[in-house]
């Protein structure tokens, strides 16, 4: 699957997103760099079991995602709370 913003999504991830309409809607609303973070999170799983677990909770993670203020302006260094 290729998102509307041009990010390639693996087949199993696309299946998980398509099974969760709200999760898919939230994923499509993300910026391309944020979509790629999720693709990397899924593809860099250490085992098949870990990947399956991540895919199971993907929609929930995407729906709960919020950019942090430092990330809104493209800063590679998120704010640190002391």
- The pLDDT tens digits of the residues spanning 6-19 come to 899 999 999 999 99
Query: Is 82 part of any domain?
Result: no
The pLDDT assigned to 24 comes to 94
Asked if the model's pLDDT at residue 60 lies above 60, the reply is yes
Query: Is 55 part of any domain?
Result: yes
Expressed as residue numbers, the domain containing 33 is 11-72
Cβ-Cβ contacts under 8 Å for 18 (sequence gap 6 or more):
24
Query: Is 6 part of any domain?
Result: no
The pLDDT assigned to 62 comes to 92
The pLDDT assigned to 81 comes to 45
Average pLDDT of 68-74? Answer: 58
Query: Is 63 part of any domain?
Result: yes
65: left (phi over 0), alpha (psi -120 to 50) or beta: beta
Query: Is 5 part of any domain?
Result: no
Q: Residue 2 phi/psi, 5° resolution? A: -115, 125
Question: Per-residue confidence at 76, pLDDT binned at 50, 70, 90?
Answer: low
When divided into structural domains, the chain yields a total of 1
């Amino acid at each position: 699957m290729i998102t509307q913003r041009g990010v390639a999504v693996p087949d199993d991830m696309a299946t998980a997103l398509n099974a969760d309409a709200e999760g898919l809607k939230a994923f499509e609303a993300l910026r391309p760099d944020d979509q790629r973070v999720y693709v990397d999170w899924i593809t860099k799983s250490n085992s098949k079991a870990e990947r399956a677990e991540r895919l199971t909770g993907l929609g929930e993670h995407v729906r709960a995602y919020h950019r942090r203020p430092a990330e809104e302006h493209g800063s590679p260094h998120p704010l640190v709370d002391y």
